[in-house]
Structure 1
Amino acid sequence: MVLKDSRFFTGIALAGFMIAVAGCQSGDNTIAGVGDDATKAPEGKILASELRAYCPSVTLREGTAFFNTYAKGGDGDASKIVYQAAITDVTRSCARADGMLTMNVAVAGKVVPGPAGVAGNVTMPIRIAVVRGDEVLYSQLHQHQVAAGAQSTQWVFSDPNVVIPDSSERDIQIFAGYDEGPPKKKAEE
């Protein structure tokens, strides 16, 4: 008889616990002071609608993922390479406010010393461009410096100031890469 009574009381205690927990899980989200703010994300949090929103991807244009620095007078000579730089990854994040799309475009890579390598700073010309068809919405050339030494050096660059008008169309492209500008003209003799 004692065994039956202990099971009965255990069952009653378990049922009471389940009812108490179910009461805490009720569907009423109205808590004093919260009201309609329940649909807003807490500070620093991202809403699901923001995660599903369109954020253009970043692409490397052909020929813009590598950059070589040569010793003076050694342009094009592999034995005169001071540093070789390569972009190894690109990404972005997007935020929308007041009809504008603000993007933080990030580029990562590495610098490897060449045969003529010496310790020092390497200045890499990194261009971030945003286009819609033939229309350039944003284009900025950055001179990113990396302290390089005898070993390969990893680096990260970001441009958090890419701001363009927001659009419901998914026709925007972001390009990142090295931009050395037009080829240097050789002096005529």
Structure 2
Amino acid sequence: MKMGVNASWLKAVLAGTLCAGILSGCMGGGSDELAGSGASGQVQTGKTRGTFATIVAGGQQPIQVDPDAFATKIYCPPIQLKPDTYLISKYVRGKENEPEGLLYQAAIEEWARSCTREGTDQTRIKIGFSGHVTPGPAWKGGEVDLPIRVAILPPAEGEAPIVSELLAVPVTIGEGQPSEAWTLVENKFLVPQNKQMKIVFGFDEGRKKRR
């Protein structure tokens, strides 16, 4: 069952309106349009300068104009969840898939991304995720690290990723808790400007050992 993490709240975090706590470094100059939970908007306005220019027109008083209003638009890649990677279920060794052996379940429930101009030829992509971890009957309390893989891929199949990062989300869960919400916002992704690409993400537990 989907828990109560609101997509618009996560988008607000990426937009910089909630800069304290979970967002370690809000980006200056304002954010652009956002796409969440698989939305596919692809063009966003990039910020170039945070100051206002003064222009004088035909005997009128000087007018304050934001130069960003005339900035060229930058491409912001679509974001999508890799199939069958939204959920992690951890069990006590030897009790896999038995209800009483469940340690916890973790789910990715909401996601969003925004793009801003970086210099003259790069785009900075900020990505946010949120979800819940629910402890099972076998959980005794403690911390888990949720592994989320973010890959930025070229349009052609089979080409090497432009970016591939494994992010860790630490979550502390008490014994017997109903669930614990988690949020991750990361803005370190730099890619070439206005190049076609896509963002793919999901839980990545690595190669599972054969039984």
TM-score (norm 2): 0.62
Aligned to 1:73: 94
TM-superposition CA deviations, 1:5-56 (whole Å, max 9, x none): xxxxxxxxxxxxxxxxxxxxx994625xx6xxx3425xxxxx4857x64322
CA, structure 1 residues 27+79, in 2 after alignment: closer, same or farther (shift >3 Å)? Answer: farther
Letter in 2 for 1:108: S
Counterpart position of 1:140: 165
Q: 1:29 to 1:163 in 2, by over 3 A?
A: farther
CA distance in 1, matches of 2:151, 2:140: 32
1:105 equivalent in structure 2: 127
2:140 corresponds to:
118
- Secondary structure (helix, strand or coil) at the match of 1:79 reads helix
From 89, 95, 107, the equivalent of 2:116 is: 95
Shift of 1:118: 2.1
Residue aligning to 2:46: none
Query: What SS is found at the alignment partner of 1:72?
Result: coil
Work out the CA distance in 2 between the residues paired with 1:145 and 1:183: 21
Unaligned runs of 5+ in 1: 1-25, 42-46
- Residues 98-143 of structure 1 show CA distances to partners (whole Å, capped at 9, x for unaligned) of 2111111111100011121222111111111110133311010012
TM-score (ref. length: structure 1)? 0.69
Greater helix percent: which structure?
1
Select 2:190's aligned residue among 156, 163, 175: 163
What is the deviation of 1:73? 3.3
CA contact (8 A) 2:74 2:117 kept: no
1:123 alignment partner AA: D
Q: Relative to structure 1, is the Cα distance of residues 71 and 29 closer, same or farther in structure 2, using a 3 angstrom cutoff?
A: farther
Partner of 2:197: 172
Which of 178, 182, 186 lines up with 1:151 in the alignment? 178
Root-mean-square deviation (Å) = 2.4
The amino acid that maps onto 2:136 is G
Q: Give the number of aligned pairs.
A: 148
Contact 1:107 1:176 in 2 (8 A): no
Structure 2: runs of 5+ lacking an equivalent: 1-57
Partner of 1:30: 62
CA radius of gyration, larger in: 1
Q: 1:55 touches 1:93 (CA, 8 Å); kept in 2? A: yes
